[in-house]
């Protein structure tokens, strides 16, 4: 090979190719666009994990059960709502949510709120029935839901659905046992329906069968609490308060943070006049709520009612005021506090607070009451503007009757005074409402007559309502 010193030519030099340049420009531009979109989030890189993990309905259900065991029923319901959102065709999830919604209704402070919650429970369990009409668990829970719905109805309302709900509960209870004979839960809830039907002997017999079936089911049966709770409820209905306490304690072993059980045990101890034990269990319910960060006035109302029955009016009022601080929009709490003030002969305070319960009150009136009795503040101060709520008037029903006749009596006490203008005119409106619904009651006509005489100046100066009725569980 001869080296001549000339440059070796490997290809023909034809100049730049315009099509090749155009291709490179397109590729570069596309790369810049992809980079820009990636940086701004409009394009996600390949193989990234999902932004939020996909959860199954069973995962939410596990969370709901854990929250229920912890005593946080609100969080448990929220978890089950997510569960049925993910798996709307899972009847058991709907049924479990309906069960917790039903139990949570017992911890609400007035009948109206309880009926709303039970309506939600009926919606849930009816959806479960649509999905799986032949599921024994679903039918058993439906018996529970409709039985508690019947018990919550206002019997003074001629359009109440108590009998309809009770019939639905009975139908589901029978169907549950036909599908799952000998199932402890089905037996227990059928016993509770029979109790509300006033079939005491049958209720007690079926409840005993449920407890026996529970023993056969073994320690892992998930609804032992329900079976023992019904056992306690049936015994309490019979007046066997000591035996009821034992059943409720068994239920508590399965659900140690379920405050409803603490309240029920406390009420039964109060029935047997063991006040220290009653207060111990009420205080335990309040402590559990505090540990969970739950703002629930119910334990303080129970404590206040217990001290009221003991004639300890100051301690009773302090607990009622604590409940009012938690739930200032709840008219029922104003009513309870007003009764305490009345029985303590603090009529000036009683008339203001009872007016809020019976007539309702504005945010400003509520703030004034809270500042005087709870926060000890000036209602005009800037700090005080966070307190108070608009309070709707309570309808006259069995559970509000005491507030009405006590309010009428204390208004009559202030006849012809500048402190309470038109006191007797306002009292007469209350008396007319009372007589329209309770003319045949054993003591209401007497209270009304005595108070009317007081307004006419023909009776003693001190109004005399009847004693406070014995409270039910949780009150």
Task: Let me know if residue 98 belongs to a domain.
Answer: no
Residue 217 within any structural domain of the chain: no
Torsion angle defined by CA atoms of residues 91, 97, 102 and 106, in that order, rounded to the nearest 10 degrees: 170
Note whether residue 25 is domain-resident.
Answer: no
pLDDT digits (tens, 9 = 90+) for 146-175: 999 999 998 878 889 999 999 999 999 999
**Tally of domains within the chain:** 1
Place of tokens 């019904």: 230
Res. 470 pLDDT band, cuts 50 70 90: low
Looking at residue 373, what DSSP letter applies?
A: I
DSSP string, 300-352: HHHHHHHHHHTT-HHHHHHHHHHHHHH-TT-HHHHHHHHHHHHHTT-HHHHHH
CATH number at residue 399: 1.25.40.10
**Residue 363 pLDDT more than 90?**
yes
CA nearest 388: which of 311, 324, 313? 324
User: Does residue 475 fall inside a structural domain?
Assistant: yes
- CB contact set of 257 (below 8 Å; sequence gap of 6+): 69, 70, 71, 288, 292
How many CB atoms neighbour CB 143 within 10 A? 27
307 domain-assigned: yes
| Distance, CA of 277 to CA of 266 (rounded, Å) | 7
Question: Is residue 334 a part of any domain in this protein?
Answer: yes
Residue 181 lies in a domain: no
Residue 361 pairs in a beta bridge with 391
What are the beta bridge partners of residue 39?
none
For the stretch 29-52, pLDDT in tens is 666 655 665 666 555 555 455 555
**CA-CA-CA-CA torsion sign (274, 275, 281, 284):** negative
Asked whether residue 3 carries a pLDDT value surpassing 70, the answer given is: no
- pLDDT value of residue 31: 65
Please give the residue that has the higher pLDDT: either 110 or 203: 203
Encode pLDDT of 408-423 as tens digits: 999 999 998 888 999 9
Question: Which tokens in the block code for residue 186?
Answer: 């089905």
Domain that holds residue 357: 297-475
Mean pLDDT for the chain overall: 89
Q: pLDDT tens digits, residue range 374-383?
A: 999 999 998 9
Q: In the chain, pLDDT over 90 holds for what percent of residues?
A: 76
Is residue 68 included in any domain, yes or no? no
Residue 77 C-beta-side C-alpha neighbours within 13 Å: 16
């Amino acid at each position: 090979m001869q080296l001549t010193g000339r440059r070796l030519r490997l290809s023909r030099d034809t100049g730049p190719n315009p099509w090749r340049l155009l291709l490179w420009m397109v590729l570069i531009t596309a790369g810049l666009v992809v980079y820009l979109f990636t940086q701004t989030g409009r394009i996600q890189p390949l193989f990234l994990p999902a932004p939020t993990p996909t959860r199954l309905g069973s995962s939410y259900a596990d969370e709901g059960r854990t929250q229920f065991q912890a005593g946080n029923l609100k969080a448990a319901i929220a978890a089950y709502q997510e569960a049925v959102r993910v798996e709307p065709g899972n009847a058991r999830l709907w049924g479990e949510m309906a069960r917790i919604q039903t139990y949570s209704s017992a911890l609400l402070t007035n009948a109206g709120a309880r009926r709303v919650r039970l309506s939600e429970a009926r919606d849930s369990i009816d959806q479960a029935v649509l999905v799986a009409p032949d599921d024994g668990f679903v039918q058993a829970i439906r018996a529970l839901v409709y039985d508690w719905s019947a018990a919550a109805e206002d019997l003074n309302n001629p359009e109440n659905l108590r009998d309809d709900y009770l019939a639905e509960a009975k139908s589901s209870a029978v169907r549950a046992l036909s599908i799952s004979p000998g199932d402890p839960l089905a037996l227990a809830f059928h016993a509770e329906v029979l109790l509300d039907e006033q079939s005491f002997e049958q209720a007690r017999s079926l409840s005993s069968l449920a407890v026996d079936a529970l023993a056969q089911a073994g320690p892992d049966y998930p609804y032992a609490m329900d079976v023992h709770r019904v056992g306690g409820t049936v015994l309490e209905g019979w007046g066997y308060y000591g035996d009821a306490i034992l059943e409720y304690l068994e239920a508590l072993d399965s659900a140690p943070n379920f405050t409803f059980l603490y309240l029920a045990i406390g009420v039964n101890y109060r029935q047997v006049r063991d006040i220290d034990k009653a207060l111990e269990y009420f205080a335990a319910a309040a402590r559990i709520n505090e540990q969970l960060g739950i703002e629930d006035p119910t334990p303080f109302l129970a404590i206040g009612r217990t001290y009221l029955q003991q004639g300890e009016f100051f301690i009773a009022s302090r607990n009622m005021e604590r409940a009012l601080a938690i739930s200032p929009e709840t008219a029922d709490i104003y009513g309870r506090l007003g009764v305490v003030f009345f029985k303590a002969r603090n009529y000036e305070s009683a008339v203001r607070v009872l007016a809020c319960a019976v007539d309702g009150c504005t945010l400003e009136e509520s703030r004034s009451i809270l500042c005087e009795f709870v926060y000890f503040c000036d209602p005009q101060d800037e700090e005080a503007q966070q307190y108070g709520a608009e309070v709707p008037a309570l309808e006259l029903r069995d559970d509000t009757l005491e507030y009405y006749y006590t309010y009428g009596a204390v208004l009559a006490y202030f006849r012809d005074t500048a402190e309470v203008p038109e006191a007797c005119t306002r009292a007469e409106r209350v008396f007319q409402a009372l007589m329209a619904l309770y003319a045949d009651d054993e003591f209401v006509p007497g209270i009304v007559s005595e108070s009317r005489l007081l307004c006419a100046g023909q009776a003693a100066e001190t109004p005399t309502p009847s004693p406070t009725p014995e409270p039910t569980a949780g009150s």
